[in-house]
Structure 1
Amino acid sequence: MIINSNIPALNTYNQLGQNRDAMQSSMEKLSSGQRINRAGDDAAGLAISEKMRGQIRGLDQASRNGQDGISMIQTAEGAMQETHSILQRMRELAVQSANDTNTAADREELQKEVDALSEEISRIGNNTEFNTQNLLDGSLDNKFQIGANEGQNLSLSVDDMRGFNLGMAGDAAIEVASTVSDGGDTTEDISEGSYTVQENSDGNYDMINSNGEVVATSTDDGATYTAADGDDTIDFSGSKALVTGGTIEVDDAGDVTAEGTVQNSGLEAGSYEYNGTDETLVDSNGDTVATSTDGGTTFENGDGTVITFEAALADGDEVEVGGIDISSQASADAAITQINEAVETVSAERSKLGATQNRLEHTINNLDTSSENLQASESRIRDVDMAQEMMEQTRANVLAQASQSMLAQANQQPQSVLQLLQ
């Protein structure tokens, strides 16, 4: 019998500590609802479940990304729906203007609406945005992250849906100064009326009346037009030469006003003004749309040449760009086909967006299903079985109480030594 070392008490105390640890561990799991609260609970299970958690959260975010992508697509597609409506109206006007029951004045009014509609197409293209990103000006080239891992994305680009790219913007027109010389009364040889300018087979420019007759010809690149049946001339030298597509108005007093046009290589329908100080072409909002490097003759934007005038613009010169030309029977007839092509272009882009939206909807469904299945798998690894753990906690609690009772009895055993000392 010994009293310095109470081996039964030490053994019981050790068991009591283990049972208390087991009880505390069970209580921690029951209170948190998780089987793994720290790496020591299950090192391998912790590593696996953390990877699963990363996948689950990535899949959930990818699903939200897909929903945001659908919102962007619907915004763009809704704007193009209005563009379609505008194009259908422009086609209706072209069909109306192609009928020769209309006078020149009637077609002029029809042209005004076409000009305004073309300008609105461009305004829609310039102003349609989602989260400050422009959708229809041709700059959109995005990737939607629709997976939890690198490279799991979907690309989407939208073509330029503005008037110029759809072929709905006309030539650039500018007022041209003129003088009458070399022949007295203009109306003697070049009578009152409206004329257009066209290039002839010799490479010169003809001034043509409403009957299609040539009344004057220019042999110096549109600077001076000489009457075919007399010596009257209309002189544009020192100003903007009047070439193909230009128009000339002669009133009953022989006074001449003219508008010259040049091929438009990038300007949307609208009004522009030349700022000679900065050598820039600005729109009606004061925004710079093109810059000249040669004193006002050739203008470029960020994508290349926009327009080249026959002669340099002067400070304050205004440039007008209308819609597709329906001012004559022939031009209106041709415009019908051109508008059809624009309608098909917009239709193709809307179809592409619709297909992408349907794809994203299926993607979202798949992401949600994958996330659900992964959460179930992660739950089996990480979450605690409450019923089973309650049994373990009860067992550990009973054992801890029993150990505590046995420790009390073990502590009483050395007292029997006192009987030997009596």
Structure 2
Amino acid sequence: MSLSINTNLGALNSSRYLSATTSDLGRSLERLSSGMRINSAKDDAAGLAISGRMTSQIRGLNQASRNASDGISMLQTADGALNSMTSAIQRIRELSVQAANSTNSLSDKKALQEEVNQLIQEIEKVSTTTTFNGDKIFDFSGSSVLGNSDQLAVMYGLQNGWLEDAESKIQQYFGISADGADMNIELTTFTDGAGGTAARVVGSIPGSYTGKATNVKLQIDMSDFTPPNLPDGGNAPFYNDRIIAHEMVHAVMYRSMNIGSMFDPAADQKWFMEGAAELIHGADERLQSSISSVGVGGVMARAATFGSAGAAWGGTSDDYSAAYSAVRYLHQVIKDNGGSGIKDVMVYLNQHQSATLSDAINAATGGLYANADAFNADFVAHGAAFIAGMNLTDTDTGAIGGANADGGAIQTATSVIPDTSSRSGTNPLSGFNEIWENISAAAAGNNKQLQVGANKADTLDVTLGAVNTAAMSIQNLDLVNNAGFATYMMDLALNHISEERSKIGAQLNRLESVITNNNISVESTVASRSRIQDADYAQETTSLTKAQILQQAATAVLAQANSSPQMLMALLK
């Protein structure tokens, strides 16, 4: 190894190590003083990028939790408003029940109505002015979400009297009941317009024309059921409850006997179905109108088309008059022969499920008529005289059990279907399982979008439905004339408010879950970021101590290296 003064390799080497050691010492001091493993991009470029994204996620989740908390506050405000509405509706219901009591005078009912009017105004005020942070909370569109007022009134009539009263009268005077099958009830609009078919019962008739009908539906034409003035509904003389009684005869016959045989085109017996349906509520008014229009001869001409020898059922008003007269005549013939009238025919058909109308007429008349055609022939021969003897000018409708048909009490257009119902609600019938059409409308609602996550798509829609008086169809309650309907509407309104509150409760619980989930995510992300970003003090203190010792050693060695050229001076002496 050569010796030189110009280049001190040992000093250069010692200086390099001292510089590296000093750098390590500085890095350890920086990490220990900041607590961070990554203080600049040069420390860990990838780690810095990852920890930066994690920081964004953490801060976004924390803000999302605050957003969810604001959403909870908004929903709590809405729930408080709905609670006050519930109290007002409960009070209105209480007043409507009070108004229904006949001990109240007209002035008493008007006083109750005044309080109801004030409560309705308060409900409207709460629903339209409740705000959170300056924004209105509830949707307050003018359309009803429960159904329009006419539909609701018809629904009320069906559920609180019309159906049950009709079924009760059919059971009493015809002796038949349905077998518990489903019956769909639909409020619709027929294509024939107002003044056409007001209601109808449809079903699937067996292809063999033997057996009961299936898929029974009661369809009501709202254009003919408006206005549905309660308790009878509609307009005189054929009030809605009389129309429903007519159709319920069809429905019960569909599910209590061999109805298929009456639809057999070889022996069309629909005249009996329609005549019996008219007899349950009486049709003297219709018969009188037909006589004024076409005369008794015209009515009897329609009767001549009944049965196997005639044409298919025509369905005109005169056809109904002829069918009603024929069944009234048959009713009287059976009674004159010691029977109970049409009830004997109905009971026979119910007890003998394979029997035809001819079988039943033969049995009920004690063999007087061999079949339905024999009866038709007799009625065509003697029906005009029978009709001439009917009292069509008094207030009795001619209904079975009434003054004209059976010598009973007078049954007027308003009393023929007695208001004696004891059941209410969605199952007023004992012989059918009613399936009601949903007449409620889907409200758009007031939608609030909450940002409940750290990313753009992490949103939650909170919808607050319409709860104003128009939406619940309670803005025009009349306790003076219709207290029962007011009670019905209050029940619907309470159900609607309860549904809205249940939605709010579910949304509150969901938002609380969102906050919990966000907090857990924040905790996990913070822990992950810590492993990447934070300094390990055990490791860094070890590195610091090592660097300090190496620095001291390097400094001492560098000093020795710097003095090594002085040894060469001895060679120059």
* Offset, 1:168: 2.1
1:155 corresponds to: 461
- 5+ unaligned residues in a row in structure 1: which ranges? 171-323
1:119 to 118, 121, 129: 121
Matched residue of 2:461: which SS? Answer: strand
- 5+ unaligned residues in a row in structure 2: which ranges? 141-444
Matched residue of 2:4: which SS? Answer: coil
Deviation string for 1:98-144 (max 9, x for gaps)? 11211111111111100100011111112211111111244631111
1:413 equivalent to 2:544? Answer no
User: Mean Cα displacement is larger for which, 132-141 or 102-111?
Assistant: 132-141
1:325 corresponds to: 478
Letter in 2 for 1:337: Y
2:553 to 391, 402, 411: 402
User: Which residues of 2 match residues 108-187 of structure 1 at below 5 A?
Assistant: 108-138=110-140, 140-170=446-476
Q: How far apart, CA to CA, are the structure 1 residues paired with 2:130 and 2:459? A: 24
* Offset, 1:60: 1.6
Q: How far apart, CA to CA, are the structure 1 residues paired with 2:52 and 2:38? A: 11
* Offset, 1:164: 2.1
2:90 corresponds to: 88
Letter in 1 for 2:127: G
Matched residue of 1:141: which SS? Answer: strand
1:106 corresponds to: 108
User: Which residues of 2 match residues 247-286 of structure 1 at below 5 A?
Assistant: none
1:25 corresponds to: 27
Q: How far apart, CA to CA, are the structure 2 residues paired with 1:325 and 1:157? A: 32
2:64 corresponds to: 62
* Offset, 1:80: 0.2
What is the RMSD computed on CA atoms of the aligned residues? 1.2
* Offset, 1:32: 0.7
* Offset, 1:94: 0.7
Matched residue of 2:42: which SS? Answer: helix
1:391 to 542, 547, 567: 542
1:335 corresponds to: 486
User: Which residues of 2 match residues 342-361 of structure 1 at below 5 A?
Assistant: 342-361=493-512
Letter in 2 for 1:153: T
1:371 corresponds to: 522
1:2 corresponds to: 4
2:397 corresponds to: none
Greater C-alpha Rg: 2
* Offset, 1:97: 0.9
**Identity rate, percent:** 45
1:72 corresponds to: 74
Q: How far apart, CA to CA, are the structure 1 residues paired with 2:124 and 2:25? A: 73
1:39 corresponds to: 41
Q: How far apart, CA to CA, are the structure 1 residues paired with 2:485 and 2:81? A: 27
Q: How far apart, CA to CA, are the structure 2 residues paired with 1:140 and 1:111? A: 31
Letter in 2 for 1:166: M
**TM-score for both structures, normalised by structure 2:** 0.46
Q: How far apart, CA to CA, are the structure 2 residues paired with 1:137 and 1:149? A: 28
Letter in 2 for 1:15: Y
Q: How far apart, CA to CA, are the structure 2 residues paired with 1:166 and 1:90? A: 14
Letter in 1 for 2:133: N
User: Which residues of 2 match residues 173-322 of structure 1 at below 5 A?
Assistant: none
2:18 corresponds to: 16
Q: How far apart, CA to CA, are the structure 1 residues paired with 2:50 and 2:66? A: 25
2:51 to 49, 52, 57: 49
Q: How far apart, CA to CA, are the structure 1 residues paired with 2:493 and 2:59? A: 44
Matched residue of 1:37: which SS? Answer: coil
Matched residue of 1:40: which SS? Answer: coil
Deviation string for 1:206-232 (max 9, x for gaps)? xxxxxxxxxxxxxxxxxxxxxxxxxxx
Letter in 2 for 1:335: A
* Offset, 1:371: 1.1
Letter in 2 for 1:325: D
User: Mean Cα displacement is larger for which, 62-71 or 381-390?
Assistant: 62-71
Q: How far apart, CA to CA, are the structure 2 residues paired with 1:156 and 1:362? A: 15
Give the strand-richer structure, 1 or 2. Answer: 1
